[in-house]
A and B are shown apart, each in its own frame.
With several copies, the nearest count.
Chain A
Amino acid sequence: MDFNHTGEQAALADSVRRFCDDNIDLASHRRDGRSPSDTRLWRQIADLGWLGAGLSEEEGGFGGGPVESAIIAEAFGRSLAVEPYVSSAVLSVRTLLASGGSAASLIESIVSGERTVALACCEPEGRGDPSHVSARAERKGGGYRLSGRKSLVLGGANADFHLVSARTSGDVRDDDGVTLFRIERAHPGLRRQDYRLVDRRMACDLWLDDLEVGADAVVGEPDQASGAIREGVDHGIAAICADSLGAMDRALWITRDYLKTRKQFGQTLSSFQALQHRMADMLVELELSRSMLYAALAALALGADKRSRGVSAAKAVIGKAGIFIGQQAIQLHGGIGMTEEYAVGHYYKRLLANASLFGSIDAHIERYAALSGGEPASVLF
C-alpha cells in the first residue's frame, strides 16, 4: 500500500493538469456546450496516450490502471472539461474488457481516439441502476430485433457507436438474460434525443424502434452481460468520484481565495470566524472524500460484491460531500457565485450531476447496505 504518486503518476498528473490549464477555460466550456467532444482536443488527448493510461498492457493500454484513470478524471473535473473521457475510456472500455471475447478488438480504436463510444445501460425506471433492463432484444432470423428506451447516455450525443443493454431473456431485474449490443450511431431504427446536463456535459436518450442487428452486434456472451456492465459501471463511478474530487478541491480553493480578497463591513471576509469554520467543514469533507476515493480504488481490485460495496460507499460519501462543498462555495461567494460568468457555480453543477449519475446518494447507501449485511464496516477485512 502506497499513498504517494510514483514518478510516472506524478508526471501524468502534472501533464494532464497543465494541458487542461492551457486548453480549457470557462468560456470554451460554454462555447462548446453543444459539441463537447472538440475534435482537436480529443485528438490531442488520445495522442498523449491518456485514453489508454488507465489500462495495463494486456488490456490494450500503457501499463496503468484505475489509479491512472482517477488521476486523469480528477484533472478533468478540476478544469470542468466536458470531453467524454469517463464515458468512452472508462465506462465503455471497462465494460468491454469485462465482457471478454471479441470485445477486446474494439478497444484499440477507442484507445487510439479514432472512435468514441457510449454505454447505454440506464433506463428511466432504473434511476441510474444498470441492473434494471426492460429494453428487449428478440431473436429474429440470425440476428436480433431491439425495442425499448435507454436514458441518460453519458457522452452519447457525440459517440460514434453505443453499447446498448437489452434483455434477451428473464424479467426486468434478473441478473441473467441481459445482452450487450454494439450499435452504430447512424443505425436505422436508433432514435436519439440529445440534451445537456445541468453542467453542460452532453447526454442523450435512445429509442430502439424495432431496430434490427446481426448476431455479430453482440458484445461478449449473450444473456451474460450483467456482470460486465456492473464492473464497467463500478469503474466508471470510481472515475466520476475522482472527477468530483477535482471539482470540489478547486471549488474550495477558489472560495478560499475569494474570502481573502473580498471585503464587507470593512473587513476581509476571511476574518469572519463563522466563514472560517464553514471552510474548515468543507475541508474536512474534501479530505474524507479523497480518502474514500482511495478506498474505492482499492475495492476495484476485490471480488464483485466487495468492489461494489466500496464503490457505492465512495459514491455516497463523495456525492454528499460534493454537493455540500459546491453549495457552500456558492453561499460564501454570495451573488457572484450564482452567475454563469463565474466558475464556482459550474463546479456546483458538475458536483450535482456527478452525485446523481448512476444512482443517487440514497440509492448507493441502499446498495451498500444490501451488500454489507453482517460484514464489518471496513474495507480491510
Chain B
Amino acid sequence: MDFTIDPAIHDFRRMVRSFIQENLPEEMRRRGERDFDSKESDVRGWMRILNARGWATPNWPEACGGVNWSPLQKFVFQQELRRARAPVLDRVGTDLIGPVLCEFGTDAQRARFLPRIQNGEDWWGQGFSEPDAGSDLASLKTRADLVGDAYVVNGQKIWTTCAQYAQWIFALVRTDFSAKPQKGISFLLIDATSPGVTRRPIESIDGGFTLNEVFFDNVEVPIENLVGEAGKGWDYAKFLLTHERTSSAEAPHTQRDIEQLKLLASNAIKGGRPLLEDPVFRSKVAALEIDVIALEWAVLRILHADPDDPSLNSVASILKMRGNVQRQIVAELAAEALGDYGIAMFLDPDDPDVRAEDHLAPPLEGEAVGVSARAIFRRATSIYGGAAEVQRNIIAKQILGL
C-alpha cells in the first residue's frame, strides 16, 4: 500500500483544465451552471469537441477508442469536466452500451455503432424497465419473436431516459418463453426510428421530461442487431450494470455541486452574515464534503483494483447507494441555501417538452435557477438503476452471505 499522490497528476489536471477552458463554448458553460439536464445539442456538440481530441470515451478499452490513462487520471478528467460545468455526456451511450459492444459486440456492430457514439451522432436509450418489472428485471414481458432473419418486437418499456432524443434503443426482450425467467432473455439493438416504435415523454415532478415510455408494436429488428448469443441477455445486462460501478457514485458531480452549494451559501445572507458562516449550516455542508471524500476514495480503490475481480460487482452497490444519498443531500442543501426561493419552481427554458404557459418564474438568475427542480428530481437517484432496497439485498446476499 502506498497512498502517495503522484505530483504529476497536478500537471495532468492542468492540461485537462486548460483544454476545457479553451474549448468549451461559453453558451454551453452558462447553461451548465443552471442544473437542468444538458441540452441535447450541447451534449452532441461537446462530444464532438472531445472526440476531436480523442477524449470522448476514455473509459473504453483502448482497442475500442479509450485512452491510455491511469485510473487516477480518468477520475481527475471527470472531476474537471464537472467542475467546468461542461455538458453531461450521454452516459447511456458512453458508459452503458459502449462497453457492452466493446466486450460482446461483433466487429461489424463495433464498427457501425461505436464511432457514432463517440462523436455524439447516435444517442441511445436504455430499454430495461417495464411497467411490471422495475427493479425486478427477471419478470419482463416485452417479447421478440424470430421471424425469418428478423426479430419482431412487441411490448412496452418505461423510464427510458432521453428516449425522445435517441437514435437507438438497446433493450432486454424475451426470446424464449419456455426457459427459466432469466434464461430466455436477449439483448437487442433497436433503431428508434423504426416503424412501430412510439415514444412518449413522461412528465416528472420536477416539471421535466427526461423519462419516457417506449412502445413496440411489431417492430422488426434484423438479426444482426442481436448482441452476443440469444438467451444470454441477462449476462450482458449484469455486465453493463456492474461496469458502471464507479460512475454511478457520481463523486465528481457531487463535488461540483458542493462548490456550487458553497457559492450559493456565500451569497445568501442570514442575520447579516453569509449563510455559509452560520455554524449549523456550515457544519451540514462540511459533513457532506467529508462524506464525499470517503466516497471519492472508495471510487479510487475500485478504479485501482483488478477489474476482473468478481467481488467488485457487489461493491458497486455500495458506491451507488451512498452516492445517491449524497447527490440528494447536496441538492437539498442548495435549495435550503436559497431560502424562500428554494421552494419556488423554475422550469427549464430549453426543454422543448415544457408547455409555454408553465414558464412562470421567480426572480432568480445564474446558478440558482435550476436548484429547486434538481432537488426534487434527485429523489429519483435512489430509485433508478436498481432501487436502494435492491442494492441492500445485493449487499446482504453477495457480500454478507445472508
Contact = CB atoms under 8 A, between A and B. Distances in A.
Interface of A: 1-6, 9, 33-34, 67, 122, 124-125, 127-128, 151-152, 172-173, 193-200, 203, 205, 256, 259-260, 263-266, 270-277, 279-281, 283-284, 287-292, 294-295, 297-298, 301-302, 310, 312-313, 316-317, 327, 330-331, 334-335, 337-341, 345-346, 348-349, 352-353, 356-357, 360, 362, 365-366, 368-369, 372, 374, 376-381
Interface string B329-351: 00000001001111111100000
Interface string B266-280: 001111100000011
Contacts of B382: 331
A76 B387 CA distance: 32
Contact of B269 (A125, A151, A272, A362): A125
B258 interface: yes
Contact of A280 (B9, B289, B336, B396): B396
Contacts of A34: 357, 360
Given A152-B340, A356-B342, A292 B203 contact: no
A335 B134 contact: yes
Given A193-B363, A340-B202, 19 more contacts: A1-B72, A125-B269, A127-B270, A198-B344, A265-B136, A265-B138, A283-B399, A294-B300, A298-B4, A313-B294, A316-B287, A316-B290, A317-B291, A335-B158, A341-B202, A357-B343, A362-B281, A369-B286, A377-B292
B50 interface: no
Nearest to B266: A374
A378 B293 contact: yes
B315 interface: yes
A312 B262 CA distance: 19
B180 to A, nearest CB: 13
A337 B361 CA distance: 25
Given A279-B396, A365-B287, A380 B402 contact: no
B315 A287 contact: yes
Contacts of B4: 1, 298, 301
B379 A331 contact: yes
Contacts of B358: 33
Interface stretch (B52-60, B107-115, B204-212): B204-212
A238 to B, nearest CB: 11
A379 B295 CA distance: 11
Interface in B352-402: 357-358, 360-363, 372, 376-377, 379-380, 382-384, 387-389, 391-393, 395-397, 399-402
A352 B206 CA distance: 13
Nearest to B287: A365
A273 B389 CA distance: 10
A331 B387 contact: yes
A122 B388 contact: no
A377 B291 CA distance: 9
B344 A127 contact: no
A4 to B, nearest CB: 7
A277 B3 contact: no
Contact of A289 (B207, B294, B304): B294
Contact of A317 (B13, B207, B271, B290): B290
Interface of A, helix, strand, loop or mixed by DSSP: helix
B297 A379 contact: yes
A2 B360 contact: no
B293 A313 contact: yes
A276 B204 contact: no
B392 A280 contact: yes
A338 B286 contact: no
Nearest to A279: B400
Contacts of B68: none
B326 to A, nearest CB: 10
B141 interface: no
A339 B376 contact: no
B282 A369 contact: yes
B345 A284 contact: no
B391 to A, nearest CB: 8
B321 interface: yes
A310 B3 CA distance: 13
Nearest to A299: B3
A380 B343 contact: no
Looking at A124, A127, A297, A341, the one whose CB has the most chain B CB atoms below 10 A away is A127
Nearest to A257: B401
Contacts of B76: 380
